[in-house]
Each structure stands twice: as C-alpha cells, then as structure tokens.
Copies of this chain bind each other. A is one copy, B any other.
Amino acid sequence: MGQGRVHLYYKNVMSNVIGVKHGIGHSQLDELADQAGKEIVDLNNLRKAGQMPYRDLPFNKTYISQVKQVAETIKGKYENFVVLGIGGSALGNIALQTALNPYMYNIDEKQRGDGCPRLFVFDNVDPMQVGSFLDWAGDKLDKTMFNVISKSGRTAETASQFLVVREMLLEKLGADGYAKNVIATTDANGGTMRTITNDAGFVDLEVPDGVGGRWSVLSPVGLLSAAVCGIDIDGLLEGARSMDERCSNTDFYKNPAAINAAINWNYYMAGKPISVMMPYSYHLKDMSDWYCQLWAESLGKSEDLSGNKRFIGPTPVKALGTTDQHSQVQLYREGPNDKLFTFLQVKEFGRDITIGGTPDCAPELGYLAGASMAKLMNSEKAATEYALLKDKRPCLTVMFDRIDAHAIGEFICLFEVTTSLAGLLFAINAYDQPAVELGKEATFALMGREGFEDLAEKIAPVTEIDDDYLV
C-alpha cells in the first residue's frame, strides 16, 4: 500500500473473484503491467520535456500566492460569490465545494467559515434559472462578486452571462462599481476577455497556457472560488503533489494511476464500454461529474494518433450510493455485463450520527437502533459490491481514509494521470476536443453571427420541424 490518504483497491476485478470470463488473471495483469509500464516511462519523459503542463500546477507558487491575495480582498466583504463559467470552468469548482464544504453551506450562515460568501456557479443559459437568481441578487449586487472564467472570453454561454451581469452592474452600481465587482480569470496575454479586463480594470487571474479546461481545476480557475469559500487550497495542492509522486513510479504495481488506467483500458477493449463511478458519500457526488468530463472529452476520439478511424471511448456514468441502489442496481446486476464499476468509499466520515431507538411496536427495526450511520453507509457499499460480484461484475474501489482537502487533491491527481495513461494506452490524443467546434460554429450561425451564413443554410433542415414526424 502506498503512502497517502487515497488508495485504489483492485482485488474485485480479478478472475479469482469473478471468474475467468469477466475477471483478470495474474498473468494477464503482468501483461498489462508490461504495456502500461512503458506508458509510465513515456509519460514521465513527456513531462520532463515540458509537455504535461497540467502536472506542474500543484507546484506553481505564483498561482497560489496570487489566488490567496485575491481571496483575501473578498473575505468578509461580500455575501455572494458567483462563478460564470462552463465545462472545465465550472465542474471542478462545483466538485471542490460539494466535497469540502457542508451540505447547508449556502443556507446556514453559521456553517460557512468566518467571512465566507455563499457560492453560486452558473454553467448554463436557461433564462428561467438565471432570472430566478437575478431576481434575488438584484438588490444585493454591491455585496456580490462575479468571477468570470473563460480563457478566450468567446464561449457563447459565459459571454452571454457576462454581458447580462455587466449591464446589470453598470445600471445599478455605475462603471466604478461594475469594475470592482468582477474578477476575471482569463488568458494572460490576449483574447476577448483579456481586452475587456484591461479596458475595465478588473482584478484578474490567469488561465494557464497549454492546460485544457478539464485539466485546470488546480489552477486559478478552480482555486479562487475554493479559497474564497474557506477551502484549504494548500492542503489540496499538497495532496496533489504527493499523489503526483506515486503516479510517477515506474513500478506498475506501486503506481495507482497505471493500475487504474490499465484495468479501465482492458475492460473497454474486452467489450465493456461503460464506466460507472459510484461514490458512497454525498460529498463526493460532484467529483463524478468532474470525472465524467475528464474521461469523456479526453478518451472519446474518432481517430488514433496514427490517423486511423477508430471511434473509441468509454462512456462514463455517474451514480450515487446508496441512492442509486434503489434506481440503477437492478440494471447493474441483471442487465448486460458491459460495465466496469468504480466505487468511492470513505473510511472515516468527518462526523457520525447514532441511529435512535425503535418504537416498541416495531422491534423489526431493532437492528438499526444504536448503530452508526457511517457504518450503515459502508455496509450498503459492501452489500452492493457483494451483490454485483455474485453476478460477476468487475468492481474497483477508490478508498478515502477521510474527506479533506489533501485527499481530494490526491483524488484529482490520481484521475488526471489515469486519464493521461489511458490516452497513451488507447493511442489517442487525450488533450484536444475537436468535435466540440462544429456545435459552437452552428450556434454562431443560428444566432446570426456575421460570416456564418453558409452554415446557417446547412442547419435549416434541422431547425425546420417536419410535421410528418411530430406526434
């Protein structure tokens, strides 16, 4: 077992547990070790050559001191902190907040840290949702800080939100108030949001170069909202650094990212295209969302590195224990054996609740009385895993000693390096997202942007409803 607070447990994918048809034998694992072992070396070399900039984020002292400095100016002065961003500029922020702050954070002032504002993250352009928020925030704008996060500033969703907020701030607080109530996290040198930032004089932070959105949570993109909400970002980065070391180990059997990547790759190639992440902890539920982007955008690729058309990519699915036992587990056990399960389990919950006594009239509930709720949660996990193993479904578990910033940093780094290694095993480029472009351009066309008239004509048949097919 490696050092640290987060560990990967892989016994329950082995053939001695779930049989040879769906399990992995020891010799097969040795073969995976040979292959993935080479990829560890390749990845370490790429990194040394400066081609893995996301790996350097936890070591960047400039970023953390800039983030802390900006966070310090917000503490105690604002009641609300609002992130305007989407995809990689939102999912990490949400995941950190859910993981490390109390469930009632936004509602119960006492549960927020001293001087910490409420946090809202807007990663959509639903006018009903945005309108509901603005109705409430409209008379509190002077106490509301907006953090617009966009490398270019041209993402239609974030740009729209920004323009709506900008107009409202200008109207209610004037040009001066507007500039004071926006922090821009954007490209250091150029682009639309950089120009707007320089023009208006926003406080600003940097979106690092060469780090795609889904890899940016440990940069100012994800760190500012965390720091403002009282999360221990030093601990977070320290955790990431310690996992980074474990994930650089060229001994496959000591490298949790390599084992994780190899097992995931193996099952995809062996006909299990679905990868379910199922945390047994409310606080880890949005980490699954973050993982879903990382996994889907990085590994879903039509071409491999040699230019062969392959159309590969596992489909990530987020589930939640125990909730989804009463929703998805029927399918998980009796449906096709086409999934790899990754449970997230917490050894020591930060607190526990003792289940109360039973009414005299219901002795059948006596087994719960006086029991620990944390024990119930972990028993449900073991019970579900037992049931899945009976049906020969492969199960991994990521074990958290506890949930704290250090452990979350470890988890983030573990899955980032896992994704990089899986990219090498699949022989695809894990760092681009070429297929997102057409949808962006089509949106420009439909919104009447100049220069996209030809595309608008091509889209017309999709937007014109044919009543013959409407029922």
Partner among B299, B351, B439 whose Cβ is within 8 Å of the Cβ of A127: B351
Tell whether A104 is near chain B: CB-to-CB under 8 Å: yes
Interface size of A by Cβ–Cβ distance < 8 Å? 165
Partner among B155, B300, B313, B317 whose Cβ is within 8 Å of the Cβ of A315: B317
B356:A296 contact, CB within 8 angstroms? no
B127:A326 contact, CB within 8 angstroms? no
Stretch at the interface among A42-50, A70-78, A444-452: A444-452
A327:B382 contact, CB within 8 angstroms? no
Q: Given the known A-B contacts A163-B365, A373-B127, A373-B160, are A312 and B335 also in contact in the complex, defined by CB atoms under 8 Å? A: yes
Closest to A432 in B: B330
B326:A213 contact, CB within 8 angstroms? yes
The docked-state distance in angstroms from the alpha carbon of A156 to that of B383 is: 12
Q: Which residues of B are found within 8 Å of A214, using beta-carbon distances? A: 327
The docked-state distance in angstroms from the alpha carbon of A322 to that of B125 is: 7
The docked-state distance in angstroms from the alpha carbon of A330 to that of B273 is: 16
324-338 of chain A: CB within 8 A of chain B: 325-338
Q: Which residues of B are found within 8 Å of A389, using beta-carbon distances? A: 462
A471:B293 contact, CB within 8 angstroms? no
Q: Which residues of B are found within 8 Å of A323, using beta-carbon distances? A: 86-87, 90, 123-124
Q: Which residues of B are found within 8 Å of A332, using beta-carbon distances? A: 300
| Chain A positions 254 through 274: 1 when the CB is less than 8 Å from some CB of chain B, otherwise 0 | 111001000000000000011
A368:B156 contact, CB within 8 angstroms? yes
Q: Given the known A-B contacts A127-B373, A358-B163, A469-B9, are A86 and B326 also in contact in the complex, defined by CB atoms under 8 Å? A: yes
Q: How far is the CB of A11 from chain B (nearest CB, A)?
A: 4
Tell whether A442 is near chain B: CB-to-CB under 8 Å: yes
Partner among B86, B321, B328, B350 whose Cβ is within 8 Å of the Cβ of A296: B328
Tell whether A184 is near chain B: CB-to-CB under 8 Å: no
Q: Which residues of B are found within 8 Å of A126, using beta-carbon distances? A: 281-283, 349, 373, 377
B447:A328 contact, CB within 8 angstroms? no
A282:B88 contact, CB within 8 angstroms? no
Tell whether A375 is near chain B: CB-to-CB under 8 Å: yes
Stretch at the interface among A56-64, A131-139, A219-227, A233-241: A131-139
B300:A439 contact, CB within 8 angstroms? no
184-205 of chain A: CB within 8 A of chain B: 192, 195-196, 199-200
Tell whether A172 is near chain B: CB-to-CB under 8 Å: no
The docked-state distance in angstroms from the alpha carbon of A403 to that of B127 is: 13
A192:B373 contact, CB within 8 angstroms? no
Q: How far is the CB of A136 from chain B (nearest CB, A)?
A: 4
Stretch at the interface among A105-113, A405-413, A417-425: A105-113
Interface centre among A128, A192, A317, A387 (most CB of B within 10 A): A128
Q: Which residues of B are found within 8 Å of A128, using beta-carbon distances? A: 102-103, 281-283, 349-351, 403
Tell whether A374 is near chain B: CB-to-CB under 8 Å: yes
Closest to A433 in B: B330
Q: How far is the CB of A368 from chain B (nearest CB, A)?
A: 5
B297:A443 contact, CB within 8 angstroms? no
| Chain A positions 95 through 107: 1 when the CB is less than 8 Å from some CB of chain B, otherwise 0 | 0000000111011
The docked-state distance in angstroms from the alpha carbon of A104 to that of B164 is: 18
Partner among B9, B155, B199, B383 whose Cβ is within 8 Å of the Cβ of A359: B199
290-345 of chain A: CB within 8 A of chain B: 292-293, 296-297, 299-303, 311-313, 315, 317, 320-323, 325-339
B447:A376 contact, CB within 8 angstroms? yes
Closest to A297 in B: B330
Q: Which residues of B are found within 8 Å of A334, using beta-carbon distances? A: 300-303, 311, 313, 434-435
A327:B442 contact, CB within 8 angstroms? no
Partner among B88, B104, B390 whose Cβ is within 8 Å of the Cβ of A132: B104
Q: How far is the CB of A156 from chain B (nearest CB, A)?
A: 7
28 contacts between A and B (CB under 8 A): A9-B465, A10-B471, A86-B322, A86-B326, A91-B327, A104-B132, A108-B135, A110-B136, A127-B349, A127-B353, A131-B353, A153-B365, A156-B368, A164-B373, A166-B359, A195-B362, A196-B359, A273-B274, A296-B330, A300-B335, A317-B317, A330-B435, A367-B444, A379-B443, A383-B439, A386-B459, A387-B435, A389-B462
7 nearest A-B pairs in the assembled complex, by CB-CB distance: A87-B326, A300-B331, A167-B356, A383-B442, A313-B335, A11-B469, A379-B446
